[in-house]
Amino acid sequence: MAKLYIIDASGYLYRSYFAIRGMTNAQGESTNALFGFIRSVKKLIKDFDAKNVVAVFDGPKSISKRKEIYSEYKANREETPADLRYQIGWAQEFCDLIGIPKLVVPNVEADDTMGSIAIWGKEHFSEIYLCTSDKDMCQLVNDKVFILNTFKENLVLDAKGVEDVHGVRPDQIIDYLSITGDSSDNVPGLPGFGPKTAVALLKELDTLDEILAHPEKVPGKKKQETITLEKDNALMSRELVTIDTAVEFPRKSEFFTTSSPDLSHLKKFYSKMNFNTLLKEIEKLQGPAEEENVEYVLVDDENSFRELLQHLSLQKEICFDTETTHEIPMRAELVGIGFCTEAGKGWYVPVNGKLGLELVLEGVKPLLTNPKIGFYGHNVKYDWHVMKNYDIDVKNLCFDTILASYILNTHSRRHSLDALSLDYFGKVKIPLKELIGTGAKAITMREVPIEKASEYCCEDVDYTFRLKERLAEELKERKLEKLFQKIELPLLPVLARMERNGIFLDVPCLEKMTVEILEQIQELTKEIYTFAGEEFNLNSPKQLSQILFEKMDIKPIKKTTTGYSTNAEVLETLAIEYPFVKKILEYRTLEKLRSTYLEVLPHQVHPKTHRIHPTFNQSVTATGRLSCQDPNLQNIPVRTEVGRKIREAFRPEKPQWSFLSADYSQIELRLLAHFSEDPKLLQAFQEGMDIHAHTAATVLKISESEVSKEQRSRAKAVNFGIIYGQGAFGLSRELGVPMREAADFIETYFKTYTKVKDYIEFCKEKARKSGKAVTLTGHEREIPEINSTNGQLRTAAERLAVNTPLQGTAADLIKLAMIAIDDQLDREGLLGFMVLQIHDELIFEIPDHEILTFETLVRKNMEGVLKFKVPIIVNMTLGKNWGEC
């Protein structure tokens, strides 16, 4: 006989709802519970090759029967969240589509239906697995029925396992729960009788009936009195926790057999939910709908190569792609180049074949450097760098599909060629890992057989070509073409040159600093061990939790699924009362900087240029800001002493050169004044006032000369907090003041700056109607969650609706300034160059004799590239290293 798997579908959904956050579909509807449910069910079926399965859901009005027994049953539970209710319906729809039998019995809880199936199923299946984490179900375990908790590495409990985990036999579980009660279901039990007491009593007296009949056999007078007084509660609890095994359901074994999935409708379902990874799995199952007639050509002889070059030289635009040995472009060596000029056709020219590197480079250089031919690709900046490694400057970059996708869908993180090919064409591309593998056994593209590399690269350029046609049309339709052509595309070569320039790192200086920091870490470690009274692993949250909350008996603040939290927020709160906790925070700060920067940065110095070359990404953040990686130099803290010291190790490579820092002053507040047109804010900026002192004076109705340092600090926190939607709770935490006081300050602020309040509400309402927020230059960010029934998602979306036009416009402003500065530097032939962008700040490496020229040039372009209702101010500093700036 076969095995039967009974899934606690309601339990799976609730667990996923609280474990996964922030997942929504294109309509802004929550999909977190559904996604977790699908993943859990699919994993169960795959891991156990389950052929007989049933998903059991709570029926409507499922707790009504037990409510008749005890009106407070599950009374402590909050109402099912609105955005979970519709996901339950979707989960049932998924079961139908995937071919899993489901049961939803009206007026019956899932546990009772599952128990009824298990009792009946013993005669029809060899083994039955109750797939749940609910301990109530342990009462059903016997020689044929087992608990399968897939959330604990497939933990299977037989009768012995139940006793090992809970301390009692399966037949004692009902009595055990009758004694301890169940806080999650609000089952009362015997007050003051915990699990250890219940286990001890059942070991001694075996049953609840025996315990209730002979309270004198229970140790402790108080417990004896409780048993006598609370006997009825215990008996009622037993009735509540006993699984009803007489529920009606289809009693035919064939009902529980899974059927073939409805792949076409399942595909539409996944698409509606925006489950692209699941869509990809279906594509693999289906295989190609029909074999497409494509022509992918391996070009590895001189005649074919010359013919290809002749064909390409006649084109106006060419899609190209490089295959290399490394994901970091300036460390990458060329393996081959792919070209495409029409859909379904691609050419691949390897440099590790018969032609060889020199001949290929000699042939493609005149082509790639021809300014009359436009070249494009997917993340084409990478390919630009690779060719630049061989002294080939691709002159005319005319499109980038990753940038176009980003502009069309800034809220999405799915801009890879594989994801877009699947989304637009239903095409599952050849995964790179199939060619090169993963982990320690991974090879480079150079070791991949040339025929396979050719197919892979030709497919890449083919689908990039197809994407370009689709995305270019979408940009036109949505009137985003100007934004693409005037900001994002012109910025691409600017960033490429900035990356190419890199920044010089004084490695000996950093190594000396590392020694000093290690000494500080060791000293802090000793001090913490002294306070704790023992040595432990400071990097282990679990061990730190044991020290703080068990050994030192400090009252925990926040509980997680694995224990008590020791995150930064918790430790900062504890540090107020327990000063030694500050030492732990100091340790963590130093250790993070050591492991993230001090130990890593020297290894990221390029062996040939002796400089660090980070990558700046245009297609990552939803706000439009640039992100930085390999390494992320934007994240080196500026407000800590150690962070400043790390910055000191970055300096100009040549003597008589300096760094110039140009930083927009309070740019988002200035933009708030521009957008809101609040007269008091406008006046403050137009007259060059100290905006924070002005805010404090205006709100408190005192003169600016009377404003104290503390009052200015509070006003500053409110000014910036307004931009990020900070409420009274957040402000009170930041300032360390009572929430009422923080609320009063915010209320007075809005009464003072009435137009700011109006602007904030305008942003929210506009986003509710359009489902998006837009920057001054037209960058769009979809915010579908703005109308979500989930209050937490909706509130976060409202903050984005306010912040996006401000932060996004600031991002656009500095991008335009970078383009203008780069253009002028090129025209004037100056020696200095741009090395870094840190959000609102630009860093230049310049010879000292160009300082005055640069200050004038940079200020003019940064302050004047866009016009606003308030002056835009740029603060400039000079330094012989980054720290001095």
Q: What is the DSSP string of 462-473?
A: HHHHHHHHHHHH
Within this chain, do residues 252 and 323 fall inside the same structural domain, yes or no? no
Quickly state the pLDDT bin for 257 (edges 50, 70, 90): very high
Is the Cα torsion angle 534, 536, 541, 542 positive or negative in sign?
Answer: negative
Distance CA 639, CA 473 (A): 46
Average pLDDT for 611-617:
96
Are the beta carbons of 616 and 627 closer than 8 angstroms? yes
Each residue's pLDDT tens digit, 811-839: 999 999 999 999 999 999 999 999 999 99
Residue 505 DSSP class: B
- pLDDT of the residue at 126: 93
329 lies in which domain range?
A: 295-478
Would 716 be classed as within a structural domain? no
The owner of tokens 């009758």 is 178
What does the pLDDT read at residue 787? 85
Q: What is the DSSP letter of 109?
A: -
What whole-number distance in Å separates Cα of residue 243 and Cα of residue 137? 8
Q: Where are the beta strands (DSSP E) in 656-805?
A: 657-664, 772-774, 780-782
Side chain identity at 563, as an amino acid letter?
G
Structure tokens at 233: 């509660």
Mean pLDDT of 379-392: 97
CA 287 remoteness from chain centre: 30
Helix (H) or strand (E) holding 563: strand 563-564
Establish if 391 belongs to a structural domain.
yes
Question: Residues 653-658: what's their mean pLDDT?
Answer: 96
Residues 252 and 302 in one domain: no
The last residue of a domain, from among 453, 478, 503: 478
Which helix (H) or strand (E) is 418 found in, with range? helix 417-425
pLDDT of residue 561: 59
Q: Can you name the residues that pair with 57 across neighbouring β-strands?
A: 104
Strand pairing of 874-879 and 657-664? antiparallel
Asked whether residue 21 falls in the same domain as residue 112, the answer is yes
> Among 672, 765, 788, 780, which Cα is nearest to 723's?
672
Does one domain contain both 43 and 90? Answer: yes
For the chain, what is the mean pLDDT? Answer: 91
Q: Rounded to the nearest 5°, which phi and psi values hold at 705? A: -70, -20
pLDDT tier, 94 (very low <50, low <70, confident <90, very high otherwise): very high
Q: CATH number, domain at 453? A: 3.30.420.10
- For residue 93, what pLDDT is reported? 94
pLDDT at 153: 65
Tell whether 32 and 112 lie within a shared domain.
yes
The span from the first CA to the last CA of the chain, in angstroms, equals 76
Single residue among 478, 511, 529 that ends a domain in this structure: 478
Question: Residue 154 has what pLDDT?
Answer: 62
* Residue 206 domain flag: no
The whole-angstrom separation of Cα 566 and Cα 248 is: 49
Q: Are residue 385 and residue 252 in the same domain, yes or no?
A: no
- What CATH number is associated with residue 141? 3.40.50.1010
Question: Which domain-ending residue is among 207, 225, 256?
Answer: 256
* Selected residue with higher pLDDT from 457 and 422: 457
Q: Mark whether 421 and 309 lie in a shared domain.
A: yes
Does a structural domain hold residue 439?
yes
pLDDT above 80 for 230: yes
How far, in whole angstroms, is CA 757 from its chain's centroid?
A: 31
Task: Tell how strand 841-847 and strand 657-664 pair up.
Answer: antiparallel
Are residues 252 and 377 located together in one domain of the fold? Answer: no
Helix or strand (DSSP H, E) at 878: strand 874-879
Q: Please spell the DSSP secondary structure of 334-393, one letter per residue.
A: EEEEEEEEETTEEEEEESSSSS-HHHHHHHHHHHHT-TTSEEEESSHHHHHHHHHTTT--
| DSSP category for residue 607 | T
Same domain, 352 and 419: yes
The answer to whether the beta carbons of residues 75 and 188 sit under 8 Å apart is no
Residue 495 DSSP SS3:
helix
Pairing of strands 3-8, 127-131: parallel
> Same structural domain for residues 454 and 313?
yes
Residue 735 phi/psi, 5-degree rounding, is -90, -15
Q: Residue 799 is encoded by which pair of tokens?
A: 């903050």
317 and 379, same domain (yes or no): yes
| Token digits of residue 114 | 């599952």
pLDDT tens string 264-315: 889 889 988 888 888 878 876 665 555 678 999 999 999 999 999 999 999 9
Give the number of other CB atoms < 10 A from CB of residue 596.
Answer: 15
Position 829 in a domain = no
- Say which range, 74-83, 164-173, 572-581, has the weakest mean pLDDT: 74-83
Output the six-digit token pair for 397.
């970059």
Are 253 and 396 a contacting pair, CB within 8 Å? no
Beta bridge partners of 4: 128
- What is the number of domains present in the chain? 2
Residues 387 and 252 in one domain: no
